[in-house]
Amino acid sequence: MIANMTEDQLLVLVIKYIREAKRHSLQELLDELHPYDVAIIYRSLPVKHHHKFLTFLNPDQIADLIEELETEYQVEILQKLGVEESSKVMDLMENDELADLLNELSVERIQEFLDVMKKEDSIKIRSLMSYPAETAGGLMTNEFIWIHANQTVRQAVDKLKEYASFSENIYYLYVINEAKKLVGVVSYRDLLIADLNEVIEDIMFTRTVAVKVTDDQEQVANIIERYDFIAVPVVDDEDTLLGIITVDDALDVVIREANEDIEKLSASGNIDFSTKAWTASIRRLPWLILLLLIGLVSGSIMNYFEATLAQVVALVFFMPMIAGMTGNTGTQSLAVVVRGISQNTIDKKVVTNLILREFRVSLIIGVTCGSLITLIAFLWIGDPSLGMVVGVSLFCTLIIGTLAGTIIPLILHRFGVDPAVASGPLITTLNDIFSLLIYFGIATAFLTNLT
Amino acid sequence: MIANMTEDQLLVLVIKYIREAKRHSLQELLDELHPYDVAIIYRSLPVKHHHKFLTFLNPDQIADLIEELETEYQVEILQKLGVEESSKVMDLMENDELADLLNELSVERIQEFLDVMKKEDSIKIRSLMSYPAETAGGLMTNEFIWIHANQTVRQAVDKLKEYASFSENIYYLYVINEAKKLVGVVSYRDLLIADLNEVIEDIMFTRTVAVKVTDDQEQVANIIERYDFIAVPVVDDEDTLLGIITVDDALDVVIREANEDIEKLSASGNIDFSTKAWTASIRRLPWLILLLLIGLVSGSIMNYFEATLAQVVALVFFMPMIAGMTGNTGTQSLAVVVRGISQNTIDKKVVTNLILREFRVSLIIGVTCGSLITLIAFLWIGDPSLGMVVGVSLFCTLIIGTLAGTIIPLILHRFGVDPAVASGPLITTLNDIFSLLIYFGIATAFLTNLT
């Protein structure tokens, strides 16, 4: 019956159960749902029902629910539950999710929760919280199942049953030696088709790919993507197995990184369809005001070249086109660099090749567009020297614009500057200034010779 | 020994085996490697060794290798192998990968290959090739394992052993009823910890989430991401199970879509770090030339307003700033819309809310930036009426720019136009034109009253 109900029908049923205090029916219903669906119900549920809803759930269900919710809901639930009840729930949460949640709370709050948790769990959590968020360590869970190489398939299956609560989301068993070093990996399917008396060593895969705990999260996601892994083990410098990172976390990283890249390109800040107008404005305004001020620099450049402008008014007609084209080519290069930085390892050779490639590109497009505009300008205004000025200027500004769009983000990346600084609008605005300087500079130099 | 070798050491060893014709040693070596690593070796191997390398592999290894390589290498391998040998390899490839590969070949070539393949395989391939590439049907593989609800765990395990070659990359068993409709799902781990005599029906999960064969690939990826699935079943309108889509395909979709979004924003075309300068130029030039021509429209607008310009030369100083700011706010809105379209279901309500939100945002940033520039212009030029003209113009152009960046991509999306058309540079260039029209329009109207 439940299998075919819509979200709205489910919500109505849940409210009915809450009103009629049918705790057991509610639990049964929720057991049939994915945590993602339970989270949708929780968000849609009128706030007045939240507390009662939670009291009807067992700690296991609350743990699953919390893992699917946004921070504000998570904190709300912890507050409604109180420290003692919360700690029970926390014991059941995946350790990486829990560490992320705790990182959102104040130091005193964290201490309060850790104090009432099981000793062994709180030690694990503390160790997870000690890794930087954007590294393999910050992403991994230490809920995985390991086994010794000399144990049998039967022992492995027994261990799986013992750790049934978290063997659910894991698809490999990690094999370690006496020194706790990772020596191999066995999939559940290998165990299923093996004989129960076989020794793990004989069926395991030995060329394991692992990531270092200090590796950047993008690197980790790239490895999972390349090898089509479901999970990748995380080790320290001595190859000791510390945890695993699962493909769903890699998927989240990829989405987050792509969104960040797009924010970089547009300086739009972290805004989605559900962001309130006021919040969205506050996030965009600092950039816009900065760009406004930088934009005025363009104005003062023109002020400086007023004499040249007065001499040949037609110069001004080509100004928006030249500034715009420099911005466009810069944006194109920037997009290639920003995306590439996320997906490639950046070393000296890569950087050199990239800059040379973009330089060649700028020559090709510079010659093409420069010749085209020389012709157009000549036909339009009828003055060959103006045509030359516009053409040569466009050639030069396209080269400068392309290189600015390539080199500025690379330099920022090199110095670890928050990449949002290398935004598309910033590059465009800088290129505006470069292009005006070049255009009026060349025009002034030519015109004094020619007119 | 192999476990700790670097890529270069492996390559040297492979070349040694090829030179010394040690076929068996090579096969043993490759069996210890991931297909991704074998592909790296193949790409690094001098071309003269390619043929011999292939003859040393068994069809299974070649199938794994092909799946990891780019189209040009895939076609090369098929040519080196010849039709008969190729068809053996194709029988062993994952069907979704094979369908993608065949789609790259000419119709006659496809026919040739399908003719020599096993009848049942060629029927499956033909049916996979019939689905559009960007839908669930185009993404799915029909290599999955199903079982009837009334069978036992023992029968399920036997079936897994029988289909060992592709049970490797699949982590669930799909449960169907007599009418071949999907009724549940069982994970390998459920099978492992269950008793061999239990009936599947009793241990299966019944609220299965499935996607329709016609669903868009982005929707599929979103579902896999939200539910943290390893695979999602694909059904037709009658709930008949047709195939499955695995998380690694979802990950590829997400990466591809993010790259497409960035190409949209930058009009940079499909270019990465390894693209040749010439190819990159060819892909960028059409856009740049189009934008160049559109950019000239800005020039002719200024030509039209020449009288106004001549009257108040200071007007021109604020022109780059106004055009730039209109472009910036348009890019910000565009980024939000382009990214949002990938990650949300777009309906009337969503669109209305989004447009209203962006309109409110434009009012807030318009008032803020407009007031600021009125003040700056007054202080700089000392003319309050010019300050007003600039401020009011910026206010108006920010509203128009924001709405253009929001509405144009939504309209294009609505009419299914190739979204690359709604690129950032295009919006910026259009906004250039809008902003000049508004600025000089307002200036002309005011100045005739004021001076």
The per-residue pLDDT for range A293-307, each reduced to its tens digit, is 888 888 888 888 888
| Residues A189 and B167 sit within 8 Å (Cβ to Cβ) | yes
pLDDT value at residue A40 = 87
Mean pLDDT of B133-150: 87
Partner-chain contact A424 B317, CB within 8 Å: no
Q: How many CA atoms lie within 13 A of A346 on its CB side?
A: 20
Strands A146-148 and A172-176: what pairing? parallel
Partner-chain contact B3 A207, CB within 8 Å: yes
Considering Cα of B64, then B69, then B74, then B78, what sign does the dihedral take? negative
More confident residue, B152 or B82: B152
Please give the structure tokens belonging to residue B425: 């540079």
On the question of pLDDT at B438 being above 90, the answer is yes
Q: How many CA atoms lie within 13 A of A215 on its CB side?
A: 24
pLDDT value at residue A368 = 94
Q: Which range has the top average pLDDT, A56-70, A355-369, B426-440?
A: A355-369
Question: How is chain A split into domains, by residue range?
Answer: 2-132, 146-256, 267-450
Q: Which residues of B touch A430 (CB under 8 A)?
A: none
The answer to whether domain A2-132 has CATH 1.10.10.10 is no
* A-B Cβ pairs (cutoff 8 Å, strict): 364
On the question of pLDDT at A417 being above 80, the answer is no
On the question of pLDDT at B3 being above 70, the answer is no
Kindly give, in sequence order, each residue whose CB lies less than 8 Å from that of residue B373, ignoring residues fewer than 6 positions away: A292, B318, B321, B387, B390, B391, B394
Chain A neighbours among B 239-258 (CB < 8 Å)? 246-248, 250-252, 254-255, 258
Mean pLDDT of chain A: 85
* CATH number of this structure's domain A146-256, picked from the four choices 3.30.365.10, 3.40.50.300, 3.40.50.1100, 3.10.580.10: 3.10.580.10
Q: Which amino acid is at A64?
A: D
**Angle at which helices B107-116 and B71-92 cross, to 10°:** 30
Partner-chain contact B276 A164, CB within 8 Å: no
Q: Which residues pair with B241 in a beta bridge?
A: B235
Q: Which of B269, B298, B343 lies nearest to residue A320, judging by beta carbons? A: B298
Residue-wise pLDDT tens digits, B86-115: 878 887 887 777 877 887 777 787 887 778
Residue A73 CB-density burial (10 A; 0-12 exposed, 13-18 middle, 19+ buried): middle
Please give the structure tokens belonging to residue B130: 């019939």
Q: Does B364 touch chain A if contact means CB atoms closer than 8 Å? A: yes
* Closest listed residue to residue B330, CA positions, set B243, B258, B256, B432: B432
Residue-wise pLDDT tens digits, A31-47: 778 888 888 888 888 88
Mean pLDDT of B18-31: 86
pLDDT value at residue B421 = 58
Phi-psi region of B134 (alpha: psi -120 to 50; beta: other; left: phi over 0): alpha
Q: Provide the 3-class DSSP secondary structure of residue A241.
A: strand
pLDDT value at residue A200 = 93
pLDDT value at residue B180 = 85
Percent of the residues in chain A that have a pLDDT greater than 70, as a whole number: 96
Max CA distance (Å), chain A: 96
The answer to whether domain B146-246 has CATH 3.10.580.10 is yes
Kindly give, in sequence order, each residue whose CB lies less than 8 Å from that of residue A451, ignoring residues fewer than 6 positions away: A311, A312, A385
Q: How many CA atoms lie within 13 A of A291 on its CB side?
A: 34
Rg (CA), chain A: 30
Mean pLDDT of A49-74: 86
Mean pLDDT of chain B: 85
Q: How many CA atoms lie within 13 A of B163 on its CB side?
A: 18
pLDDT band at B133 (very low <50, low <70, confident <90, very high): confident
* Closest listed residue to residue A432, CA positions, set A333, A326, A331: A326
Nearest CA in chain B to A205: B32
Question: How many angstroms separate the CA atoms of A340 and B272, rounded?
Answer: 7
* CATH number of this structure's domain B267-450, picked from the four choices 3.40.50.300, 1.20.58.410, 1.20.120.1200, 1.10.357.20: 1.10.357.20
pLDDT band at B78 (very low <50, low <70, confident <90, very high): confident
Residue-wise pLDDT tens digits, B299-354: 888 888 888 887 777 888 888 889 889 988 998 888 888 888 877 777 888 899 99
Question: For the domain bounded by B2-133, which CATH number is listed?
Answer: 1.25.60.10
On the question of pLDDT at A76 being above 80, the answer is yes
Residue-wise pLDDT tens digits, A137-196: 888 887 788 899 999 999 998 888 888 766 667 788 899 988 889 999 998 888 888 888
Q: Does A208 touch chain B if contact means CB atoms closer than 8 Å? A: yes
